[in-house]
Amino acid sequence: MRTLYITMIVVLLSAAFAKSAEPSYLPGGEEVKRAVETRRGKTELSKLAAKMEPGTWAELKTTMPNKLWTSPPPSRGLHIAGWTDDAHWDSRTGQFLYMGLRQTRQFIAYTETNNTWRVIALDPKTDNPCFRTRTGHIYETNGFDHERSRFYHYYRDFKSVEENINLQGGISYFDVVTEKWTKLPAGPSAMALEYFGALDGLVVLGKEAQFFSNKRQKWESLGASPVDGYHSLMRHNPYRNEILMGGGNHNRQVVARITKAGKIERLKDFPGDFGLAPDKVTIDPTSGRYLMFSWKNGPLKCFEFDSNENEYRFVKNASDGPYPYKKYSATYSVCAFIPEYGVVMWAEPKGVFLYKHDSSIDYPLAAAVPPTAEPKKKK
């Protein structure tokens, strides 16, 4: 009897460990490992992350300049987030990076070593990238190559007859180490893009997904996509070597992934409507599962999505109530996962917060919500 009891305990502990064990992913090889270890335990971010209990939120007090989140002149000074979640973390330099937009662009960064935010200046006279635009939001047009520390961004043309300006849109990447921009060969317009490490290139969503190969230096087709990118969300998952994409105006509950072989696979529908403006998707660094935050069917609900098991689970301690941002700030925050500290960092003018997911819990399976009707077109 005692042997059976011990065996059962071992099995249960093994299952719990298997579910909660932290993945061994860290980009950049030995160089990045050394850089991370020089910061670990010495910075406010690393110390706060280390003392957090799983399943909790904690505020990170940072130095944030005034108007950091405000589009610069000649814009009317609007909030540069909203209709997006698209920030990225660079483990090599310990920086949280976000390109924002409302008429003009503002490229901002948080640096772990000094716990301070700054603006990375953009040249308004060049189209690498364009500083100004007429309308729009960022949507999902920021991407990141974690291995090379390259921040990708899509931007539209900007033309002004009065000012004799004719700047061409496109996609450029910012080398985080050298702080220099490089423009890619002309390609498709984008509302959703992501760098894909497994294929070493950039993916742009549309009715047909397009791929820019770093090796071949050209754009190619990945085939028809069930998620077309219009107000859709998209996230590169280096833990599982895939890209997740979902939701949007034309495919409100549809979720799919691009595998490391370049195949597009439709997955189980999201349990409700999903997409921009309000919703967010990030990755839990302790499990490689997705955390999907949705306001479209009422108060905020967070779902843990396992793309391998193809199941959604409701996470109460990350949903309405515990979620730290309220009212206007709630849907204007942006986020990025931090592999080395096992947390997700969230930022907005109201403050900076960390969330440490408890991946050891078997959260309840999510109940499906019927999709809302498509809005009728005017005759």
**Which tokens belong to 269?**
């529908």
> What radius of gyration do the chain's Cα atoms show?
21
List CB contacts of 214: < 8 A, sequence separation 6 or more. 200, 201
Q: What is the mean pLDDT of residues 97-121?
A: 97
Measure the CA–CA gap between 350 and 329, rounded to whole angstroms: 7
pLDDT bracket for residue 374 (50, 70, 90): low
> What is the fold, at CATH topology level, of the domain defined by 25-356?
Neuraminidase (2.120.10)
For the residues of 249-287, what is the DSSP string, one character each?
A: SSSTT-EEEE-TTS-EEE-PPPSS---TTT-EEEE-TTT
CB 335 within 8 A of CB 344: yes
Q: What is the pLDDT of residue 100?
A: 96
Q: Domain residue spans in the chain?
A: 25-356
pLDDT bracket for residue 253 (50, 70, 90): very high
106: phi then psi, degrees, rounded to nearest 5: -135, 120
At residue 43, what is the residue type? T
Q: Share the mean pLDDT of the chain.
A: 91
Note the pLDDT tens digit of each residue in 285-335: 999 999 999 998 889 999 999 999 999 999 998 888 899 998 888 889 999
CB 131 within 8 A of CB 121: no
List, in sequence order, every residue forming a beta bridge with 311; answer none if it has no partner.
Answer: 306
Task: Please list, residue by residue across 259-273, b when 16 or more beta carbons sit within 10 angstroms of its beta carbon and e when fewer do.
Answer: eeebebeebebbbbb
User: At residue 135, does pLDDT exceed 60?
Assistant: yes
Measure the CA–CA gap between 369 and 251, rounded to whole angstroms: 15
Determine which of 37-46, 63-72, 152-161, 313-322 has the lowest per-residue pLDDT on average. 313-322
CB 275 within 8 A of CB 249: yes
pTM over 0.85: yes
Q: What is the pLDDT of residue 23?
A: 56
What Å distances lie between residue 84 and 177, 281, 303, CA to CA?
25, 10, 18
**Which tokens belong to 35?**
């850089």
Measure the CA–CA gap between 23 and 46, rounded to whole angstroms: 18
Measure the CA–CA gap between 99 and 141, rounded to whole angstroms: 9
pLDDT bracket for residue 70 (50, 70, 90): very high
List CB contacts of 160: < 8 A, sequence separation 6 or more. none
Measure the CA–CA gap between 158 and 134, rounded to whole angstroms: 7
**Which tokens belong to 356?**
């440490």
What Å distances lie between residue 134 and 75, 158, 302, 334, CA to CA?
10, 7, 34, 23
Measure the CA–CA gap between 323 and 311, rounded to whole angstroms: 23
Q: What is the mean pLDDT of residues 15-20?
A: 44
Measure the CA–CA gap between 72 and 80, rounded to whole angstroms: 9
245 Rama sector, left if φ>0, alpha if ψ -120 to 50, beta otherwise: beta
Note the pLDDT tens digit of each residue in 329-338: 888 999 999 9
